[in-house]
């Protein structure tokens, strides 16, 4: 199995190199070379599900490459492993980091800046029979909006910044990793899910978090929520707020979950279904339930988790509630341009 994992890494690594270098019609050739004929894509809003490579190319990659000139992939985590949730020995690769470029053309209604911009992303990629069969691509699009001075959300509780990779600088695992260390990481992630699965237990929130997390943990949250450092601040700046904002929380499970070395993660489609009691990110209470798509990437240190990079498809979450953040932003931008003229 280790050879299969390494082959999957090389396939995805080669795909990224070719994709990053490709322009125009060459992008389609890259997908034809590296992806299966029946390639399936899950993406954050507005990309969503695509049943063929052409839809992904036309909606995501060509517009992004046109808007972000000299696009550069800056990876912080690159790992692979078998999906612990399936019995088919399917191999998945995780790539996490930033796509950086010169923001020279408007993108998704976000007005260009003519300066460097960073699109924070994470992608799960499944490799079957040597070809990329499916992907799940989440990106922090609101983070680009903030960099362009077009913040779509009310003031957030955590810190807003370009997020670094792991403090250990060892997230790029192109070589074979220790199976035992990966098993320890997956066990730590599963323990965390179990420890935190009961949101109404008798422990205080901070004591509950301490079961699975180091005290100096860092939660690298999405734009609109922000990052928090230490259990105390994470409890105050996100976890407590999140729990108090929803009267009903349904866990739907994950599509893929695995670990390699000291890193691991999962994604769901959707992970959670939530009934808001009001106040979360400025939205009112609602009697309806809304889905939340999430990616979590973890770094383990010893027997506890130390860092967590989180991607929440907030654009999709708002869209379900009747707020199209991208359309609203484009309309505001057009109105501002009209006023200037």
Question: Based on the number of CB atoms within 10 Å of its own CB, is 42 exposed (0-12), middle (13-18) or buried (19 or more)?
Answer: buried
Fold of 179-327: Nuclear Transport Factor 2; Chain: A, (3.10.450)
Enumerate the β-bridge partners of residue 42. 49, 136
Fold of 2-147: Nuclear Transport Factor 2; Chain: A, (3.10.450)
Residue 208: predicted pLDDT = 93
Residue 115 and residue 103 in contact, taking contact as beta carbons nearer than 8 Å: yes
* Nearest one of 323, 330, 114, 108 to 338, comparing CA atoms: 330
Domain residues of the chain, as ranges? 2-147, 179-327
| Pairing state between β 213-220 and 304-312 | parallel
Domains 2-147 and 179-327 share a fold: yes
Residue 163: predicted pLDDT = 96
Q: Tell me the CA distances in angstroms from 16 to 33, 125, 244, one per residue in order.
A: 12, 11, 40
Burial 181-217 (b: 16+ CB within 10 A, else e): ebebbbebbbebeebbeeeeeeeebbebbbebbbeeb
Enumerate the β-bridge partners of residue 248. 275
174 contact partners, CB below 8 Å, separation of at least 6 = 9, 13, 78
Write out the two tokens for 296: 């979590």
User: What is the tens place of the pLDDT at every residue in 194-206?
Assistant: 887 555 567 899 9
Per-residue pLDDT of the chain (341 residues; tens, 9 = 90+): 789 999 999 999 999 999 999 999 999 999 999 999 999 999 999 999 999 999 999 999 999 999 999 999 999 999 999 999 998 888 999 999 999 999 999 999 999 999 999 999 999 999 999 999 999 999 999 999 999 999 999 999 999 999 999 999 999 999 999 999 999 999 999 999 988 755 556 789 999 999 999 999 999 999 999 999 999 999 999 999 999 999 999 999 999 999 999 999 999 999 999 999 988 999 999 999 999 999 999 999 999 999 999 999 999 999 999 999 999 999 987 766 656 55
Q: Rg of the chain's alpha carbons, rounded to an integer? A: 20
């Amino acid at each position: 199995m280790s050879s299969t994992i390494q082959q999957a890494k090389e396939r995805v690594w080669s795909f990224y190199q070719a994709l990053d270098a490709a322009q125009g019609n060459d992008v389609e050739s890259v997908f034809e070379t590296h992806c299966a004929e029946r390639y399936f894509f899950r993406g954050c809003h507005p990309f969503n599900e695509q049943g063929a490579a052409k839809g992904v190319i036309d909606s995501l990659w060509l517009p992004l490459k046109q808007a972000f000139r000299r696009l550069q992939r800056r990876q912080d985590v690159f790992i692979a492993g078998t999906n612990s949730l399936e019995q088919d020995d399917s191999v998945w690769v995780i790539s996490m980091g930033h796509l950086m470029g010169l923001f020279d053309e408007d993108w998704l209604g976000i007005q260009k800046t003519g300066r460097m911009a960073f699109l924070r992303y994470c992608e799960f990629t499944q490799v079957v029979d040597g070809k990329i069969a499916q992907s799940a691509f989440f990106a922090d699009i609101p983070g680009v909006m903030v960099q362009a001075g077009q913040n779509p959300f009310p003031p957030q509780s955590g810190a807003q910044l370009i997020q670094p990779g792991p403090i250990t600088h060892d997230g790029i695992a192109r070589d074979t990793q220790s199976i035992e260390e990966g098993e320890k990481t997956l066990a730590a992630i599963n323990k965390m899910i179990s420890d935190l699965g009961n949101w109404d237990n008798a422990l205080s929130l901070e004591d509950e978090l301490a079961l699975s997390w180091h005290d100096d943990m860092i939660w690298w949250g999405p734009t609109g929520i922000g990052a928090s450092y230490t259990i105390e601040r994470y409890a105050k700046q996100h976890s407590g707020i999140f729990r108090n904002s929803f009267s009903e929380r349904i866990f739907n499970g994950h599509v893929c979950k695995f670990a390699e070395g000291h890193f691991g993660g999962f994604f769901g489609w959707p992970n959670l279904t939530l009934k808001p009691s009001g106040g979360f990110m400025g939205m009112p209470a609602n009697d309806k339930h809304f889905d939340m798509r999430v990616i979590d990437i973890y770094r383990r240190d010893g027997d506890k988790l130390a860092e967590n990079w989180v991607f929440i498809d907030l654009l999709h979450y708002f869209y379900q509630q009747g707020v199209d953040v991208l359309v609203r932003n484009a309309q505001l931008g057009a109105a501002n341009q009209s006023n200037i003229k």
